[in-house]
Amino acid sequence: MLYAILCYAHEETVFAWSKEEEAAVMEKLYAVQEPLAKAGRLGPTGRLMPTTAATTVRKGQGSAGQEPLVLDGPFAETKEVLLGFYTAEFDSLDDAVAFSKELSAVNPGSSSYEIRPFYVFHPGEVTVGQGDETGDRKAETS
Amino acid sequence: MTDLAHIELALMAARPQVLGALLRYFRDLDTAEEAFQEACLRAIRSWPDKGPPRDPAAWLIFVGRNSGVDQIRKRAKNEPLPEEAAFSYLSDAEADIAERLDNSHYRDDILRLLFICCHPDLPNTQQIALALRIVSGLSVAQIARAFLVSESAMEQRITRAKARVAKAQSGEGAVPFEAPDAAERAERLKTVAAMIYLVFNEGYSAGATNADSAALCGEAIRLVRILLRIFPAEPEIMGLFALMLLQHSRAGARFDGEGQIVLLEDQDRSRWDRRLISEALAMLDKAIRHRRPGPYQVQAAISALHARADRAEETDWGEITLLYELLEKLSPSPVVTLNKAVALSKLKGPQAALELIEPLVEKLDGYFYFHGVRGNFLMQTGARDKARDAFGRAIALANSPAEAAHVRMQLERL
């Protein structure tokens, strides 16, 4: 089954890492993903900007047809926030749990990995974008 | 990263919120700081075994408040100290505690803590030093190194500033501990934002020469990020954040191997930090959506146009000139006009730019950058003698050896 694995963390701590600390963690995380990638089981992965960069579009309350509200900030004010995700094919939930445990072991910033199976999955492909961001995208997912 | 290093990061991250809450309880900075220290010690003893709590700030506020109360009681010799075991139920009851602590105060706690450091009687340098000591929790030694003064001088400066704040807090005009109204809150936010930008600039102007000073940029960014979390819909705070990220994104390109200044147009743009730029552009987009322009947003927008140009020749000087005109309307100053002149010189040549800045001579005569820019325009028009004079004046006014060296280099090219 195809799963999304969502990484939750205290962002105050994660974004306080120095460049070196961060690079060390990322390297270990890539090492954990590598076997899955080689086996053709790893789909798109992503790392999100802090929740300060988030905007939330919330359905207007009250009368029908009301314009949705556009709010600055994340969907929910929580202590731990969604900071990244993986998509991967696992034979069993046990395998997905094992993978998440491995990620957790090398990521001191993560507090939880939520494992959510997919109903529908369209990986799509983004073919336009500003140079720097595309570059980043490649660097983060390769 | 060790567990301990990770705990220290968590403590540092929680500090403004926890200290702000403890200050509200105890209404005294020293008591609040002591209680925070005690809570941190207990965290370092208990978290490695039991694991960090889900909400570190709530844990620290709870423990800090109890230990502060104990200290006060102990001084009053009313009751004996409770056993360490009295805190042992904490990890089981964490969720409960988090709910009992009043979240709605947090935002004003942090703002108050920062605002108290911005007392109008304190000169800028003391405001910054105090904020770095109290809110950021940097050591006196670290701050002293960043400001290139001795530790004892910095200790004195901070002690004086603290005494001034304590005195102000006990008299009229004290910053009240009640939640402020919306207008007062906006006013505080503005003052605090200006102070944080000063912290940033302190680090930015020091440049590559001093790593401790340069670290101030990172600290200022962290402080604005905290403000953004508690005031997520303030376009000017978004603008300030984007502006600082954009300026900081060039840190790796602003100086050459010898510590000499490299001008924006000569910088190796591949050394700009793309990740900081991406986040800044995202934040600027959010700010602009509010349609409430302000000086920080406009400055960030100008900086963003530089960031968007892959090569210096691709810079949109027309748009930048327009933005400087908007900035002149929002916050008129001769320095803004001077910057507009630089943009204009790229569009219409040095003569037009010179005409624009001639009326500024009186106001900016003591300003290094004015004479450097003027010398440059003069050089471009071929007025070599006048250019030489202007560069000479700039060197005399330089704020750092790197600035002086940069102008000297231009002088030699004449």
Split at pLDDT 50, 70, 90, the class of B399 is: confident
Q: What is the mean pLDDT of residues B194-221?
A: 86
Chain B: residue nearest A47 by CA? B275
pLDDT band for position A135 (cuts 50, 70, 90): very low
pLDDT tens digits, one per residue of A1-50: 999 999 999 888 888 888 888 999 999 999 999 999 999 999 999 999 99
How much is the CA Rg of chain A, to the nearest whole Å? Answer: 17
In a domain, A20, yes or no: no
Domains of chain B with bracketed CATH: 3-101 (1.10.1740), 108-167+183-231 (1.10.10)
Nearest CB neighbour to B13, from listed A12, A70, A108: A12
For A14-38, give the DSSP string: HTT--HHHHHHHHHHHHHHHHHHHH
Domain-located, residue A103: no
How long, in residues, is chain A?
142
How do strand A55-58 and strand A81-89 relate by DSSP bridges?
Answer: unpaired
Q: What is the pLDDT of residues B350-389, one digit of tens each?
A: 999 999 999 999 999 999 999 999 999 999 999 999 999 9
What average pLDDT does this structure show over B29-35? 92
Question: If you search the block for the tokens 């990263």, which residue do you land on?
Answer: B1
Asked if B6 lies within 8 A of A72 by C-beta distance, the reply is no
d(CA A69, CA B358): 50
Q: Is residue A59 part of a domain?
A: yes
Q: Domain of A59? A: 51-76
Split into its structural domains, chain A has a count of: 1
> Is A65 contained in some domain?
yes
Which stretches of chain A are assigned E, i.e. beta strand?
2-9, 42-47, 55-58, 69-72, 81-89, 110-117
Q: What is the pTM of this model?
A: 0.87
The helix (H) or strand (E) run that includes residue A114 is strand A110-117
B91 band by pLDDT with thresholds 50, 70 and 90: very low
* Interface membership of B289 toward A (CB under 8 Å): yes
Write out pLDDT tens, residues A38-63: 999 999 999 999 999 999 998 877 66
pLDDT at residue B237 greater than cutoff 80: yes
CA dist., res. B123 & res. B158, Å (int): 12
Does A30 reside within a domain?
A: no
User: ipTM of this model?
Assistant: 0.84
Domain membership of residue A129 (yes or no) is: no
What is the distance between the alpha carbons of residues A69 and A61, in angstroms, rounded to a whole number?
A: 9
User: Considering only CB atoms, which chain A residues are within 8 Å of B59?
Assistant: none
Residues of A with CB under 8 A from a CB of B: 10, 12-13, 15-17, 21, 24-25, 49-53, 55, 70-73, 79-80, 108-109, 111, 130-133, 135-136
Does B233 contact A at CB distance below 8 Å? yes
Q: Comparing B102 with B289, which gets the higher pLDDT?
A: B289
* pLDDT (0 to 100) of residue A62: 67
Does residue B295 register a pLDDT over 50? yes
Q: Which of A19, A72, A75 to mutate to test the interface with B (most CBs of B within 10 A)?
A: A72
- Spatial distance between the Cα atoms of B44 and B4, rounded to a whole number of angstroms: 7
**Is residue A66 pLDDT above 60, yes or no?**
yes
3-state class of B14 per DSSP?
helix
> Over 80: is that where the pLDDT of B172 sits?
no
Distance from CA of B194 to the nearest CA of A (A): 20
The continuous run of DSSP H or E covering B401 comes out as helix B401-413
Q: Between residues 41 and 80 of chain B, which touch chain A (CB distance below 8 Å)?
A: 54-56
- A111 lies in a domain? no
Whether A45 maps to a domain, the answer reads no
Distance from CA of A28 to the nearest CA of B (A): 12
pLDDT (average), residues B109-138: 91
